[in-house]
């Protein structure tokens, strides 16, 4: 398949598998989504969803969050890892949201990326899932899969995002990035993937990639 054929095949298969998708991080509004995505860095969504109820019971908005100390936030979110950096980020961005945006999360990529501990991927998720503004967040899972499928050369997540945006229709970006995450978890994990199960890779990948699978048969 050429790239155009791969793109159409991937879209069709993911739509069959996951016609309805929800963000795997529990949240109720843009602020709680922003905090949850920040916490998900180098942490599983499952673990984040176990911790955010404890945090949001104390503070589910920036006004209540700044009433907590950084140490209090850090103690609650410790199981998510990187708690010193994340707690400072949550506390700091909450202050900025109050001071600059009346406590609201801005609908602007640049403004989001200026917030403490908020990188491009986190900002992209918030733009896509909180505000339904087209974005294509690329995490390590999406980077891995689009590389396996020959959609990108895999040199960097920056290049992967550019290639994804160039090849996939803009109106599908927000849904597609979640569908790819779902597929990766179910069919194409990072460790010990099985080609017999990973049918999109089986049909899209180069022979060089296919040979990395333990159950590859020429």
| CATH code for position 121 | 1.10.340.30
Query: Mind listing the pLDDT tens digit for each residue in 133-192?
Result: 999 999 888 999 999 999 999 789 999 999 999 999 999 999 999 999 999 999 999 888
Shared domain for 85 and 166, answered yes or no, is no
Establish if 215 belongs to a structural domain. Answer: no
CA distance 31 to 87: 15
Shared domain for 122 and 43, answered yes or no, is yes
Asked whether the predicted pLDDT for residue 20 surpasses 90, the reply is yes
- pLDDT tier, 88 (very low <50, low <70, confident <90, very high otherwise): very high
DSSP-derived 3-state class of residue 145: helix
Query: Mind listing the pLDDT tens digit for each residue in 37-59?
Result: 999 999 999 999 999 999 999 99
**Which pTM does this prediction carry?**
0.92
Establish if 206 belongs to a structural domain. Answer: yes
Residue tagged active-site, from 6, 60, 74, 139: 139
- Average pLDDT of the segment spanning 5-24: 97
Pure H helices in the chain: 3-17, 30-39, 45-58, 62-65, 70-77, 83-101, 109-113, 120-131, 140-148, 157-167, 173-187, 199-204, 207-210
Domain count, the chain: 2
Predicted local confidence at residue 214, as pLDDT = 83
Residue where a domain stops, chosen among 84, 114, 131: 131
Residue tagged active-site, from 74, 86, 121, 175: 121
Instruction: Tell me, yes or no, if 163 is annotated catalytic.
Output: no
Predicted local confidence at residue 101, as pLDDT = 98
For residue 75, how many other CB atoms are within 10 A of its CB? 12
Establish if 25 belongs to a structural domain. Answer: no
Q: Which domain holds residue 104?
A: 30-131
Asked whether the predicted pLDDT for residue 216 surpasses 80, the reply is no
Instruction: Tell me, yes or no, if 121 is annotated catalytic.
Output: yes
Shared domain for 108 and 155, answered yes or no, is no
**CATH for 201:** 1.10.1670.10
């Amino acid at each position: 398949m050429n790239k155009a054929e791969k793109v159409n095949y991937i879209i069709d298969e993911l739509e069959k598998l996951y016609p309805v998708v929800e963000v795997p991080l529990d949240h109720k509004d843009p602020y709680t989504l922003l905090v949850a995505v920040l916490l998900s860095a180098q942490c599983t969504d499952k673990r984040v969803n176990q911790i955010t109820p404890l945090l949001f019971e104390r503070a589910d908005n920036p006004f209540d969050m700044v009433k907590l100390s950084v140490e209090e936030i850090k103690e609650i979110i410790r199981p998510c890892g990187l708690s010193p950096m994340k707690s400072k980020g949550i506390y700091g961005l909450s202050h900025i949201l109050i001071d600059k945006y009346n406590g609201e999360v801005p609908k602007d990529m640049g403004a989001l990326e200026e917030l403490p501990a908020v990188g491009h991927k986190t900002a992209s998720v918030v733009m896509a899932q909180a505000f339904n503004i087209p974005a294509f967040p690329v995490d390590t899972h999406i980077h891995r899969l689009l590389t396996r499928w020959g959609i990108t050369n895999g040199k960097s997540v920056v290049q992967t995002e550019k290639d994804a945006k160039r090849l996939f229709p803009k109106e599908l970006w927000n849904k597609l990035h979640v569908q790819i995450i779902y597929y990766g978890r179910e069919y194409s994990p990072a460790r010990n993937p099985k080609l017999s199960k990973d049918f999109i890779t089986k049909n899209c990948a180069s022979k060089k990639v296919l040979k990395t699978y333990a159950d590859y048969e020429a």
